[in-house]
Amino acid sequence: MNRKVTRIYFLCYQNRCRSQMAEGFLERLATKFGKK
């Protein structure tokens, strides 16, 4: 596979993982404050 393509794919994958983690964190915060 082309290195440039691999690098772009890796960066997109990294960003997606990070955004998913952020979403999960926000959801946990919302539920935490919602329960109390």
Domain spans, the chain: 8-35
Both structure tokens of 3: 């290195």
C-alpha distances in angstroms, 6 versus 12, 19, 24? 10, 20, 27
Count of residues for the chain?
36
* pLDDT tens by residue, 1-36: 678 888 888 887 888 878 888 889 889 988 888 865
* pLDDT tens by residue, 26-35: 899 888 888 6
DSSP 35: H
Both structure tokens of 24: 């999960």
